[in-house]
Homo-oligomer: A and B are copies of this chain.
């Protein structure tokens, strides 16, 4: 009996009176092992609290049994301000990994870091899940490198034509359309957009265009003078709203590209003496927990983060196993709260 250290398959083999490979087979449920032998081995393994050494197993099998989650932090915020939107997704990703028998490595990264060549090459992970906002143009090049290296990955974000790799995202255009419909329906006519609606932020751009399309069905249009760039952060939303006010063009509603932007904007509007929703209706995107807490509570677009997490992992596992997989858009829904509770005029 080995006194010190973890038991190995050889320890079990000695006790069971079989060879070490037989122990390995029994433990992995190989069908060729005699049922009685197998039961004896399993009993001993349980008794010794034996666990297969992952490093040895992975080395031999040339795989890791591990996925890596890379969460990109907004480089503009110095503190660790991960968008709370990702928290439930994180939960469903970890659960999905457990279901697939995969371990999950996690790492917070700056988009500028040299993250793209690390996990795959060192055999630490079989596949990558990429989460987080950031300038897509900067992102894209690294995604291409990943594809060239043969690294398996899935990304949360906009589903775009000709994009490198596979991504899962919500149907941003439809989400934007829901917002446009709603705002037009309550009689809003001049709708401002707070968010960088360019190809640097394809998700925001899709939301913008979706809203635009819905408005045009009502004979309305987005006014470029009412669009102010913003990244997904409260401070950025506050600044954008302030800029919008400074411009002096009239508006009766604001579609913020994310809840964090909306929250910052609401603070700026309140400070400026504007009443929400009477002077300006406000809509966000994401339905983070704080959206319920604001005064008034924020109307916003809900993304199914729980399904999203599962889908990210399921899709990545397909890729890892060499099976076909494709990008996917998840449906969105609008949740109407008091920030757009105007008397219906349209």
Chain A positions near chain B (C-beta within 8 angstroms)? 6, 49-56, 58-59, 64, 66, 69, 73, 79-82, 84, 87-88, 90-92, 94-95, 98, 103-108, 117-118, 121-124, 263, 289-290, 293-295, 306
Q: Are B54 and A122 in contact (CB under 8 A)?
A: yes
Q: Are B105 and A104 in contact (CB under 8 A)?
A: yes
Bound Cα distance from A290 to B289, whole angstroms: 8
Question: In the complex, how many angstroms separate the beta carbon of A45 from the nearest chain B beta carbon?
Answer: 11
Q: Are A84 and B82 in contact (CB under 8 A)?
A: no
Also in contact, A105 and B108, with CB within 8 A (given A52-B122, A59-B55, A79-B88): no
- Tell me how many chains of this kind the complex includes: 2
Q: Which of B66, B84, B94 contacts A289 (CB 8 A)?
A: B84
Q: Are B88 and A87 in contact (CB under 8 A)?
A: no
Q: Are A106 and B80 in contact (CB under 8 A)?
A: no
Also in contact, A95 and B80, with CB within 8 A (given A104-B105, A105-B104): yes
Bound Cα distance from A53 to B52, whole angstroms: 19
Q: Which of B58, B122, B289 contacts A51 (CB 8 A)?
A: B122
Q: Are B123 and A6 in contact (CB under 8 A)?
A: yes
Of chain B, the residue at the smallest CB distance from A91 is B80
| Chain B neighbourhood of A69, CB < 8 A | 106
A80-B306, A95-B108, A106-B106 known, 14 other contacts, Cβ within 8 Å:
A50-B121, A53-B59, A53-B123, A54-B55, A55-B55, A55-B123, A66-B105, A80-B91, A80-B92, A84-B84, A94-B106, A103-B107, A289-B290, A295-B295
Of chain B, the residue at the smallest CB distance from A149 is B49
Question: In the complex, how many angstroms separate the beta carbon of A338 from the nearest chain B beta carbon?
Answer: 12
